[in-house]
Amino acid sequence: SQTIHQWPATLVQPVGSPLSLECTVEGTSNPNLYWYRQAAGRGLQLLFYSVGIGQISSEVPQNLSASRPQDRQFILSSKKLLLSDSGFYLCAWNTGATNEKLFFGSGTQLSVL
Amino acid sequence: GQSLEQPSEVTAVEGAIVQINCTYQTSGFYGLSWYQQHDGGAPTFLSYNALDGLEETGRFSSFLSRSDSYGYLLLQELQMKDSASYFCAVPNAGKSTFGDGTTLTVKP
């Protein structure tokens, strides 16, 4: 069966510090991978998605970047965090055959202080 | 672009039936998905409607009307554990756009 791992669960970082969130998927090959951000009480905003190694599409201009160094690994990064980067970050995957449904990781609650 | 509208909050009592509506405006439409998210948790997929009509999965059903750009999630025999946020979403070209969610509170 397929599983998705995302860590850390909680992160408190000072403004101006770097960020690295990691997500890995097991049990499937060549998944589509996604990073979403959720503000408190709001919906999910798509930040990045990837259909293959090294292929990254950015949905909104921002202070963040994403990389996919391996087929089932997706990394969200920032060189210098802003207060506005605080939020709940969710990694997700699906396949081309099931793109109507997303499977989410457990999320990272990021607080930038 | 894509936009989805759903009520921000709904309250119902245990054992009741509740309907959560979603209207959408999209450029290109393939279907409507629904997700459940408990407080602090990750969203989990509930259902998907590609065609008009009602899809039933246990206590949950989902309906779609393409001509009205409208869908709803119907929850029957409500239980306390159904208290959560519910999101409609439109998948398109592998990406999904989400509504802002409806917070359902189930009271005893």
Could you report the per-residue pLDDT of B19-62, keeping only the tens digit for each? 999 999 988 888 999 999 999 999 999 999 999 999 998 999 99
- Cβ contacts (< 8 Å) between A46 and chain B: which residues? 95-97
* Pick from B33, B42, B48: CB nearest A90: B42
pLDDT attached to residue B102:
97
Q: What is the pLDDT of residue A1?
A: 87
Contact residues, chain A, for B103 at CB < 8 Å: 41
Query: Which pLDDT score is estimated for A62?
Result: 81
- In this prediction, the residues of chain A whose per-residue pLDDT falls under 50 are none
Chain A residues with CB-CB distance to B26 below 8 A: none
Distance CA(B42)–CA(A88), nearest Å, equals 10
Pairing of strands A73-78, A19-26: antiparallel
Tokens read off for A81 = 């965090």
pLDDT of residue A60: 81
How far is the C-alpha of B79 from the C-alpha of B71, rounded, in Å? 22
> Which pLDDT belongs to residue A24?
97
Q: Which among A44, A99, A104 has the least Cβ separation from residue B91?
A: A99
Residues composing chain B? 108
Which structure tokens are listed for B35? 């997700």
**Alpha-carbon distances, residue A76 vs A26, A92, A94, B6 (angstroms):** 18, 12, 18, 30
Size (chain A), residues: 113
Residues A46-59: b if buried by 16+ CB within 10 A, e if exposed: bbbbbeeeeebeee
Q: CA of B101 to nearest chain A CA: how many angstroms apart?
A: 6
The DSSP 8-state label assigned to residue A83 in this structure reads G
Nearest to B91 by CA among B24, B37, B43: B24
Say if A9 is an interface residue toward chain B (CB within 8 Å): no
